[in-house]
A and B are shown apart, each in its own frame.
Chain A
Amino acid sequence: MSQTLNYILLIAGMLFSLTSTAALLIWVERRMLALWQDRCGPNRAGPLGLLIVAADTLKLFFKEDWIPPFADRKIFVLAPAIIAATVLLSFAVIPFAPEILIADLNIGLLFFLAMSSLGVYSIVLGGWASNNKYALLGALRGASQMISYEVFMGLSLMGVVMLTGSFRLTDIVMAQQDYWFVLTQPIGFVLFLIAGIAETHRLPFDIPEAESELVAGFHSEYSGMKFGMFFIGEYLGITLISAMVVTLFFGGWLGPVLPPILWFTLKTTGFILLFILLRASLPRPRYDQLMEYGWKILLPLSLINLLVTGAIFLFTS
């Protein structure tokens, strides 16, 4: 009985900490962007401007939650829930520390890929249900971008699977006790990071919502907490991709002296900051450049990486 209770507490605690991380990221992103762009950023409400989180959340809650009369009501409501749900579900397989893990699936990596491929629906359905041409254009771009980048996202990880011989994320972490996989799979790491940015449609690749051309892309018609769900989904997506990069290429919770969970948090925070730095420094590519880059450069590169890894693996074993 106490085991079941522990399990439920673990899930509740993880949900709480993840959603509060997403909320905190509002402040982190603004402050860090300001730092890198030589501005002050939000610094008035509370110590270091931390209360901006409360202000933003309250604002979202009290805004009118409007559904346009020309929209497809049911799907319009469903779309923002999908992104938050799929991203939160992916966290179930991530080993934060040896004992802090919800589901130790033997196909954990595939589960992550499956959930990230379902996340596309949020953008596609949100854009379609809005019945607005800018939203539809954003949805079309989002669908093609995410499908293209998903292809080599999976392929770039197969090198790691080959080295470990397992899809279980705990096994992958344990296999990195001698050295991190970023040393043996540097190309796989870079490819996965790029694919991850495209999957979360963060700034260099935020083509689906490109505000300078498409108003706000797929979520043009959204307001209030429904918009908030897209927002939370995006921040949770950043956290998820950072956590996956750490688990797969940077030894997960492994590290000297400090407790495992602290190591995991430190490494993940580093990658979240990298995501924000990318937003602060890189311009957005054109849509056709993005697709060309994906299919003509990154996909062949991931195939070559797979081939070379396989060959070396065959010769050494």
Chain B
Amino acid sequence: MSIIWHITSAVAILSTLMVVTRYNPVHALLYLNVSLMSLALLFYLLGAPFAALLEIIVYAGAIMVLFIFVIMLLNLGKETAVQEKKWLKPRVWVGPMALALILLLEIFYLLHTSQQMTGGPYANGRGLGTAVSSRAVALSLFQTYVIGVEMAALLLMAAVVGAAHIGRHKKTNLHRFLNEDHPL
């Protein structure tokens, strides 16, 4: 199991790097997809099969499709790739790299200390964690965290109402004879 974990992690990191460095937005999004799928596999290995498949259904299957949809509509051509190339100069990299380095050091530190405490980076016995059944997920969602779920539902409702408002049809009168209120 451990070897699969390491391979998947390597794929996740590599694909995420590719997301940042691609000039073509569609290629970048495809790598992001690979990254999401490897994350899903990592969830699965850590014992959360439900979360793993929701990651694929929601993120890879719906949200990323909408991203690609919008980019297709924008019809970005060669010019955008050139512009991206201009923006991704080494000078631009310094700031984000420094910040990411701090996070990386923190992760190493945490991994190191937790290893000392529990005897392994992901030690729950020797497996990669105990599996959480979908029943357990449902119970914690609708008992322990029910307020969070309700609040998220409220937020989504507001978004739906907003979208319905923006997408509302305006009545256009092409001609007084074609007016719906005054049929001929």
Which of the candidate stretches A16-24, A136-144, A180-188, A244-252 sits at the interface with the other chain?
A: A136-144
Smallest CB separation, A8 vs chain B (Å):
18
Task: Determine if B61 and A140 form an interchain contact, defined as CB atoms under 8 angstroms apart.
Answer: no
Chain A nearest CB from B91 CB (Å) reads 30
Q: If A106-B133, A113-B57, A140-B73 touch, does A147 touch B49 (CB 8 Å cutoff)?
A: no
Query: Interface residues of B: mostly helix, strand, loop or mixed?
Result: helix
Chain B residue nearest to A107 in the complex (CB): B49
Please provide the chain B residues from 35 to 91 with a CB less than 8 Å away from any CB of chain A in the complex: 49-50, 53-54, 56-57, 60-62, 65-66, 68-69, 72-73
A144 to B60, CA, bound (A): 15
Cα of A167 to Cα of B54 in the assembled complex, Å? 13
Q: Is the CB of A124 within 8 A of B65?
A: yes
Q: How far does the Cβ of B164 sit from chain A's closest Cβ, in whole Å?
A: 11
Tell me the residues in window 75-123 of chain A with beta carbons closer than 8 Å to chain B beta carbons.
75, 105-107, 110-111, 113-114, 117-118, 120-121
- Is A128 an interface residue when CB atoms closer than 8 A count as contact? yes
Contact A128 B72 (CB under 8 A): yes
Complex partner residue of B26 from A75, A147, A154, A167, CB under 8 angstroms? A75
Q: Are the CB atoms of A117 and B72 closer together than 8 Å?
A: no
**Would you call A221 an interface residue if the criterion is a C-beta within 8 Å of the partner chain's C-beta atoms?**
no
| Bound CA–CA A57/B73 (angstroms) | 36
Residue of B nearest to A78 (CB): B30
In angstroms, how far is the closest chain A Cβ from the Cβ of B78?
Answer: 11
Q: Are A143 and B26 in contact (CB under 8 A)?
A: no
Chain B residue at minimum C-beta to C-beta distance from A111: B53
Q: Which residues of A contact B56 (CB under 8 A)?
A: 114, 117-118
Nearest Cβ on chain A to B59's Cβ, whole angstroms = 10
Known: A106-B133, A128-B72. A114 touches B57 (CB 8 A): yes
Cβ-defined contact, A140 with B72, below 8 A: yes
Whether the Cβ atoms of B68 and A124 lie closer than 8 Å is yes
Give CA–CA (A136, B73) in the complex, Å. 9
Q: Given A106-B49, A111-B53, do A136 and B30 touch, yes or no (CB 8 Å)?
A: no
Q: How large is the interface on A (under 10, 10 to 19, 20 to 34, 35 or more residues)?
A: 20 to 34
Known A-B contacts A136-B72, A150-B62; A114 and B53 likewise in contact (beta carbons under 8 Å)? yes
Q: Are A107 and B60 in contact (CB under 8 A)?
A: no
How far apart are the CA atoms of A107 and B33 in the complex, in Å? 21
Q: Are A147 and B68 in contact (CB under 8 A)?
A: no
CB distance B65 to A120 under 8 Å?
Answer: yes
Nearest B-chain residue to A118, judged by Cβ:
B61
Closest Cβ of chain A: how far from B60's Cβ, in Å? 6
Do A118 and B60 touch across chains, with their CB atoms under 8 A apart?
yes
How many interface contacts (CB-CB < 8 Å) are there between A and B? 68
Q: Contacts A107-B49, A147-B65, A150-B62: A139 and B72 contacting too (C-beta < 8 A)? A: yes
Using A114-B53, A114-B57, A140-B72 as known contacts, say yes or no to A128 and B26 having CB atoms under 8 A apart.
Answer: yes
What mask results when residues 202 to 235 of chain A are scored 1 for a CB within 8 Å of chain B, else 0? 0000000000000000000000000000000000
Complex partner residue of B53 from A72, A110, A124, A147, CB under 8 angstroms:
A110
Tell me, rounded to whole Å, the shortest Cβ–Cβ distance linking B108 to chain A.
33
Given A120-B61, A128-B72, A140-B72, A147 and B66 contact (CB-CB distance below 8 Å):
yes
Instruction: Determine the distance from Cα of A206 to Cα of B127 in the docked complex, in whole angstroms.
Output: 47
Asked whether B69 lies within 8 Å of A140 as measured between CB atoms, the reply is yes
Residues in A neighbouring B60, C-beta threshold 8 A: 114, 117-118
In angstroms, Cα B33 to Cα A136, docked, is 21
Determine how close the nearest CB of chain A comes to the CB of B38; give it in whole angstroms: 14
Q: How far is the CA of A75 from the CA of B56 in the complex (A)?
A: 20
Bound-complex Cα distance A125 to B65 (A): 10
Q: How far is the CB of B52 from chain A (nearest CB, A)?
A: 8
Query: When the two chains form their complex, are residues B61 and A128 in contact, meaning their CB atoms are under 8 A apart?
Result: no
Q: Which of B30, B54, B65 has the most chain A CB atoms closer than 10 A to its own CB?
A: B65
CA distance A127 to B61 in the complex (A): 17
In the bound complex, residues from chain B placing their C-beta under 8 Å from that of A120 are: 61, 65
A114 to B30, CA, bound (A): 17
Q: Which residues of B contact A150 (CB under 8 A)?
A: 61-62
* Chain B contacts for A125, CB-based, 8 A: 26, 30, 68
Q: How far is the CB of B105 from chain A (nearest CB, A)?
A: 35
Report how far A118 CA is from B63 CA in the complex, Å: 11
Q: Which residue of chain B has the shortest Cβ distance to A120 in the bound complex?
A: B65
Query: What are 8 A-B pairs with beta-carbon distances under 8 A?
Result: A107-B53, A110-B57, A114-B56, A114-B60, A117-B56, A117-B65, A125-B30, A154-B57
Q: Given A114-B61, A120-B65, A124-B65, 12 more contacts at CB 8 Å?
A: A75-B27, A107-B49, A107-B50, A110-B50, A110-B54, A114-B53, A114-B60, A117-B65, A118-B60, A140-B69, A147-B65, A150-B62
